[in-house]
Amino acid sequence: MTDLDELRAELDGLAQPEKKKGHSASEERIIAGFEEIQRFVDQHSCTPQHGEDKDIFERLYAVRLDRIRALEECRTLVAPLDHQGLLDDDYANAAESVETMDDDALLAELAGAAGTPELTQLKHVRSSAEKRAAEQIADRKPCEDFETFRPLFEQVQTEVKTGLRQSQPIEAGRRAIEVGDFFVLDGITLYVAEVGDPLKTTAGEVDRRLRLIFSNGTESNLLLRSLQRAFYNDHAARRLSSTDSGQLSFGGELEADDVESGTIYVLRSLSEHPFVAEHRELIHKIGVTGGKVEARIANAAHDATYLLADVEVVATYKLAGINRRKLEALFHRIFAPAQLELTIQDRFGHPVKPREWFLVPLHVIDEAVQCIRDGSITNVVYEPKTANLVSQGE
């Protein structure tokens, strides 16, 4: 053997072994997705479940796990990682498998997600910031004292239906997050129960630890800035305007960040009609307008709605963040038992029966407005015999 041959043989012995082929990008995504499911199971001690009442990320994990179980190549790929037995039949979800779902059911499970992943790719690609926010939102635990908060959610639901609360977009920097606030995030109503002391972050910013109660009976101790990021990532997130935070101002100025919706006005007629003249101190018209009250009543003497007579304004209440039409309808429902039964002739001699006048003392109307502030207005009705507001069912 020549010196050259000896050198070649020596170099061949020192040659590095051939590198094993790594995972493809698709396989890496499948593995990463399976690891997210494993983290969920570690945190919640159960597999992710299907259902509209579940968190959006749990529903996505449930669909993803069903797909991994259904596809042999996926099962083979993640089997070495499955230390929790998630691929075993006895650990399978009792919920409907993705293989048996129709298109509508599958789309419902993915409601709120952007796009539909291809079956073999399991795409739900998010940035690192989105992943951190998702993990924080999904990291919830059962709320042990939820019964304390349940009446609050029920009341808010009623107030939204009646228009006393409105769903408003969350605008950055417009209003702080405070104790007592209600929001909708990922389709679930949340209540801010506690706001902790200021915390200094590594970036030198100030943050706070929150206690958030969710309408599905869970809670989270999310950081304030994390909640704000979650609002930013959920374009459907909404603030439920509060009825007890100064949004209904009684003769005073509105706060700078309030949005004026209109004015409740109470009128007294100056008509010389015998019945009206006899009960002038008791007969009132209750309305809500988005403009100026003066402009609304400028032509009262020629309008049958105002009893074809001038009127005087005896009370006004500014509104903010409240649906005017629904509120006006609510007032009319409450005072319906005392509606004025009076028919007059209009300018053309036609009989007209105005509908917005009521035989109600002014102090009772003011009491009704106060009930708007504390949210009890939805269970109240006027009792003409006692001239009092009473709870329905009494």
Specify the range with the lowest mean pLDDT, choosing from 123-137, 356-370, 379-393: 123-137
Is 226 a residue whose pLDDT tops 50? yes
Question: Which pLDDT band holds residue 254 (cuts at 50, 70, 90)?
Answer: very low
Give residue 159's pLDDT: 77
**For 99-109, what is the mean pLDDT?**
47
Q: What percent of the chain has pLDDT over 70?
A: 70
Phi, psi angles (nearest 5°) of residue 142: -60, 140
pLDDT of residue 290: 79
In the chain, where are the structural domains located?
25-125, 141-240, 260-391
pLDDT of residue 259: 45
Least confident range of 151-155, 263-267, 353-357? 353-357
pLDDT digits (tens, 9 = 90+) for 268-278: 999 888 898 89
pLDDT at 21: 54
Of all residues in the chain, what percent carry a pLDDT higher than 90? 12
Reply yes or no on whether the pLDDT at 239 is more than 60: yes
Residue 170 has pLDDT above 60, yes or no: yes
Q: Chain-wide mean pLDDT for the chain?
A: 75
pLDDT tens for 312-335 read: 998 888 776 667 777 788 888 889
Instruction: Average the pLDDT over 156-167 and give the result.
Output: 76
- Confidence grade of residue 214 (pLDDT, cut at 50, 70, 90): very high
Question: Quick one: pLDDT band at residue 163, thresholds 50, 70, 90?
Answer: low
- Per-residue pLDDT of 196-210, as tens digits, reads 888 876 666 778 899
Strand-strand pairing, 167-169 and 238-240: antiparallel
pLDDT digits (tens, 9 = 90+) for 107-145: 444 443 333 343 334 444 444 444 444 444 446 889 999
pTM: 0.40
